[in-house]
């Protein structure tokens, strides 16, 4: 069974940092680009970042560029999101998601984790 499991969320003060993790199983992790998508409380879905299978290229939303860094460890089948300089507006559930098509850079997301909540508050 294909599964994604996020961890690492929590309550953090403005300006603080966190590292989110997403453990993957049930598919050839290194063959698929992976993304982070977030959802603020009561709001819609917002794409955050994508990293290709090899990890050589990454893409991020303008709203998080310079503050968030996506990475992956294919030897551990794990995706990461390092988030720094956190702001109140970064409060959201952060989902990791797998792209549908092998080797695709931009695609629909066919597998989602349960999400991890990040709350930015003093």
Partner 1 sequence: DIQMTQSPSSLSASVGDRVTITCRASQGIANFLAWFQQKPGKAPKLLVYAASSFQRGVPSRFRGSGSGTNFTLTITSLQPEDFAIYYCQQYNSLPPTFGRGTKVEIK
Residues 40, 89 contacting (CB under 8 angstroms)? yes
Distances (CA, A) of 13 to 68, 88, 93, 115: 16, 9, 16, 20
Q: How far is the CB of 49 from partner 1 (least distance, A)?
A: 10
Residues in touch with partner 1 (CB under 8 A):
35, 44-47, 50, 59, 61, 95, 100, 105-110, 112-115
Residue 27 vs 47, nearer CB to partner 1: 47
Q: How far is the CB of 15 from partner 1 (least distance, A)?
A: 25
Residue 15 vs 103, nearer CB to partner 1: 103
Q: How far is the CB of 55 from partner 1 (least distance, A)?
A: 17
Residue 35 vs 78, nearer CB to partner 1: 35
Phi, psi of 28 (to 5 degrees): -80, 90
Q: What is the DSSP string of 2-15?
A: -EEEEE--EEE-TT
């Amino acid at each position: 069974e294909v599964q994604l499991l996020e961890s690492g969320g929590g309550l953090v003060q403005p300006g603080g940092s966190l590292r989110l993790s997403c453990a993957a199983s049930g598919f050839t992790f290194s063959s698929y680009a992976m993304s982070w998508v977030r959802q603020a409380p009561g709001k819609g879905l917002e794409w955050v970042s994508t990293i290709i299978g090899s990890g050589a290229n990454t893409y991020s939303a303008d709203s998080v560029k310079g503050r968030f860094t996506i990475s992956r460890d294919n030897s551990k089948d794990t995706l990461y999101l390092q988030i720094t300089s956190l702001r109140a507006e970064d409060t959201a559930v952060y989902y990791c998601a797998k792209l549908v098509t092998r080797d695709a850079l931009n695609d629909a997301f066919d597998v989602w984790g349960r999400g991890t909540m990040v709350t930015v508050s003093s």
